[in-house]
Amino acid sequence: MKIIGITGTLGAGKGTIVDYLTKHHGFLHFSVRGYLTKIIEQRGMELNRDSLVAVANELREKNTPSFIAEELFREAQQAGKDCIIESIRTVGEINALRKQGNFYLFAVNADQKLRYTRIVERASATDKINFETFAENEAREMNSTDPNKQNLDACMKLADFTFTNNGSFDELYRQVDEALQTI
């Protein structure tokens, strides 16, 4: 059983990689966002990026920096198939998953303006923001010295495979296939 964690900047293509791996390579998908959304809905909170970040940080602070990823890993282990855990946002999550063995971290990035265009087009509940808010959200999540908070920059530096997604779907899929052949 292989576990692939996916990290990356906002709107870079994490979901596109997940779709490709599930539809064309038979991976099961476990989503940090989905896990947090359930909790936010149970609490009657508004579903937006601030709520996602706040609940994630709270759970990590109350438990461990790797708590959410470990919860999803347990679910993945029970499934017993190749799995994806999307989206890894702390170094603690990476360290905990590496200890499990057969873990590989994929990172994806793209030009900021292109990523903003993508999130506007996908129009999820958390994506209805202007460019300035998008850039502020990203800046907030890129670096932190608090192990319980998002640190995308550090996570991306720890990736086993890094993809640049400024082109077509096929270009991204080719990069993913090359990584899978290496694994």
| Separation of alpha carbons 170 and 13, rounded Å | 12
Q: Which domain holds residue 96?
A: 3-175
Match 């296939």 to its residue by tokens.
Answer: 177
Instruction: Using the predicted structure, report yes or no on whether residue 168 has a pLDDT greater than 80.
Output: yes
Instruction: Let me know: does 29 contact 84? Beta carbons within 8 Å.
Output: yes
- Domain annotation covers residue 180: no
Instruction: Give me the CATH number covering residue 148.
Output: 3.40.50.300
- Domain annotation covers residue 183: no
- Domain annotation covers residue 182: no
The widest CA-to-CA distance across the chain, in whole angstroms, is: 44
Q: How many domains in the chain?
A: 1
- Domain annotation covers residue 136: yes
Q: Which residue has the higher pLDDT, 154 or 50?
A: 154
Match 């530096």 to its residue by tokens.
Answer: 157
- Domain annotation covers residue 11: yes
Instruction: Using the predicted structure, report yes or no on whether residue 125 has a pLDDT greater than 70.
Output: no
Q: Which of 26-30, 71-75, 115-119, 146-150 has the lowest mean pLDDT?
A: 146-150
pTM of the model: 0.90
- Domain annotation covers residue 119: yes
